[in-house]
Amino acid sequence: MLCKPIMCGIVGYVGKHKAADILIEGLKRLEYRGYDSAGLALLDEGGIELMKKTGRVDVVAKVAQSRPTTATMGISHTRWATHGGVTDGNAHPHLSWDGKIALVHNGVIENYAFLKAELEAKGVTFRSETDTEVLANLIAFCYDAESVSNGGGYSAAFVQAVRQALLQVEGTYGIAAMCADVPGELVGARKGSPLIIGVGNGENMIGSDVAAFAGRTQNVVYLNDGQVVHLHRGDFSITTVDSLSIDPVISKIDWSVEDADLGHYPHFMLKEIFEQPMAIENAMRGRFSQDGSTAQFGGLNIDPRELRQIDRIVFLGCGTAWHSCLVAEYLIEKFARIPVEVEYASEFRYRNAPLDKNTLVFTVSQSGETIDTLEAMREAMRKGYRVLGITNAVGSTIARENDGGIYQHSGPEIGVASTKAFTAQVHIAAMLALYLGRMRDMSFTDGRHVVSALQKTPGLISQVLDRAEEIEHIAHKYADKNDFLFLGRQLMFPIALEGALKLKEISYIHAEGYPAAEMKHGPIALICPDCPTVAFAPKGEIFKKVLSNIQEIKAREGPVIAITNAGKEFPEGLADDVIKLPESPEVVQPTLFTVPVQLLAYYIAVARGCDVDKPRNLAKSVTVE
C-alpha cells in the first residue's frame, strides 16, 4: 500500500531527565504532522524498549504510562503511512533484526526493494512492510560488519555504519537513530526532509520541526542536506555523509511555547483565523517607507536597479501557496505592469519551461520545506536565475538556499489547513506589487493611498471576525450539503479557489472554485437546490457582472451565499444569505474576503463532526514527492 507521502513527526532526546515524558510532549506538538500511529524507543541498561501503536499520540502515551522507565534518551515518531498500511508493526520506531539499532524516518527510500532483497539474501529478516525497516537493518548490517577494535570503539562504529548505509540509499530521509551498544548518543541525518537540533543545557534534542522543542530550548541548528549529527547529552558534532566536519550555526526560535498552544480555542484552526489581524500587522511591521508611499524589504538582496531590469516574474507554489501566487499575479501586473506567470512547483521542475535572462523567480511556501517547491527552486537556481522566497519559517531550507526573500512573521501555524499564513502571503503579495509598481510608473500619491489601505487591513479583518457568530449560523444551514461552488472574478477568482480548497480539506465536501463568468461554460450544469454557491461580489467595475451570475444561479433554484462589501448596493433578497463585509479598497479585498470563507469552512466542518486540525489523508507539510 503506497499512500500520499508527507512530513511525519520526529522527536529525539538525550539528557538527564526522563525521556518518555519529553518525547510524548514533543510528539503531541507534532501530531499535526502525521497521526495514524505513534511510537517511541527508549534506551537504558536493559537495552532498547519499544512502544508503538496505531492511533493518536494519546494511545502510545497510555502504553508508556503503564511501563514506567528511568531512561534518559530515546527517539519517537508520529507516522502518516507511505510504505505499508496502518498497523502496529508498520509504526515507527523500527528495530533492526538483531535488536541493536532503533530508527525513526521521514521520507521515502526509493531503492528499498533492491536493498531488502540483498539483505534477505544475506539472512536478514523483516517484520514490517516499510522502507524504514530496510534502512534500520542496513545500518545494523553495516554496524555488524564494522570492526570496533581498530579505533573509536562502538560509538565511532555506529556513526560510520549510519554513513555507510546512507551512501547506499536513494530517495529522501530525515532520520534519528540509536544503538544498544552506545548509550547516551543519538545520530541524525537529512536529505530532502527537514531535521533540526535543539541545543539545551545538559540535554540535546533532534526533531523535524522546532515545535518539538517549544518550552525546552530556543537555540536550534538547522541541518542541511547530506549532513549527519552526532548528539551527546552535553554536546554535538556535525559532519557530512562523507565525513567532512561542519561548523554549526546556532539560531534562535522567535516564538514562545504559548504561541503553539490552543489557549481558550477549541481548535488551532479557529485560533489561527482569529490571529490574522496580528499576523497581518507583523507582516507589515517596518516594511513601509518613512514617507508612506511604498513598501520596503530588507532581505531581497537585489537592488532597485536590478529589479528595474526584470522583464518577467515567475511564481512557484503548491496548494494554498499557489493561490496566493495567483493574487500576486493580478496585483503585480496591475501595479507594476510586469508580466507574471504562476506555475505549480511540482510541474515546473519537470517541464523545462523556457525563461528569458531577465526573469525573476519567487518561491512561496509556508513551511519552507515543501519538496516540490524546494526542488523547483533548485532547478531555477541551477539554470542561473535569481530566486527569491516568501516563507513563514526562519531557518527553513528554502529560506537558507535561495538568493533572498521575505519572511511572513505569522508565527507558528499548527492547523493543517492554512489560514493566517495564506492571508499573510496575500498581503505580502500586495506589498510586493506596491514596491515594484513604485519603481515603475505608480505615482507618489497612488502609493500613499495603497499604503494607507494596507495599514487599515488588520482593523477591517477584526470587523469581519466580529461576525463569526452570524457566519456560524449560515454554516449550520448548509452543513448537510455535499457539493459547493465558489465563484469569483479577477482578484476574487484565487479566493474562490482557496475557499473551495478549505472546505474540501476539512469537511470532505466536494467543492470547486471557478471564475464567475466561466459558470456558463460547464459548471452551471451542477446548479440545483442541493448545490450551494458561494459568490464573491466586491464593489467595483465587475460588481454588476457578478450580480448577473447570481441571478442565473437563482433562476435554476441554486442556493446562494453572497459575500460582499457593497452595502446597500447589493440587492435585497437576491441571495439566500449575505455576509456583509466593511467597505474596502480593491488591493486589500483578497485578504479581507478570505476570512469569511475560512470561518464558513471551519463551522461547516465542526457541524459535520470532522477533526478540523487533523483532516484525513492530509498533514501540514509535503516533504517527499
CB 383 within 8 A of CB 355: yes
* Cα of 568 vs its chain's centroid, Å: 40
Distance CA 597, CA 586 (A): 18
Taking CA atoms, 26 is separated from 48, 76, 257, 455, in Å, by: 20, 9, 11, 37
User: Which is the catalytic residue, given 116, 502, 504, 620?
Assistant: 620
In the beta sheet, which residues pair with residue 230? 187, 237
Distance CA 527, CA 519 (A): 10
User: Which is the catalytic residue, given 3, 4, 8, 610?
Assistant: 8
Strand order of the sheet with strand 340-344? Answer: 340-344, 312-317, 359-365, 386-391, 404-407
Residue 598: is it exposed, middle or buried by C-beta count within 10 angstroms (0-12/13-18/19+)? buried
Question: DSSP labels for 61-93?
Answer: HHHHHHS-----EEEEEEE--SBS-S-TTTSSP
Q: Are strands 533-537 and 483-488 parallel, antiparallel or unpaired?
A: parallel
Taking CA atoms, 23 is separated from 17, 125, 149, in Å, by: 11, 29, 34
CB 366 within 8 A of CB 393: yes
502 has catalytic annotation: no
DSSP state of 315: E
Q: Which three cell numbers stand for residue 439?
A: 519603481
Distance CA 369, CA 208 (A): 10
Residue 515: is it exposed, middle or buried by C-beta count within 10 angstroms (0-12/13-18/19+)? middle
Name the packing angle between helices 276-284 and 420-439 (round to 10°): 30
Distance CA 194, CA 413 (A): 17
| Spatial CB neighbours of 587, under 8 Å, sequence gap ≥ 6 | 331, 430, 433, 434, 450, 453, 454
For the chain, the 3-state helix, strand and coil shares in percent, each to the nearest 5, are 40, 20, 40
Alpha helices in 385-509 (DSSP H): 397-401, 420-439, 444-455, 457-465, 468-478, 492-507
Distance CA 196, CA 207 (A): 5
8 has catalytic annotation: yes
Strand order of the sheet with strand 560-564? Answer: 510-515, 483-488, 533-537, 560-564, 577-580
Active site members: 8, 620
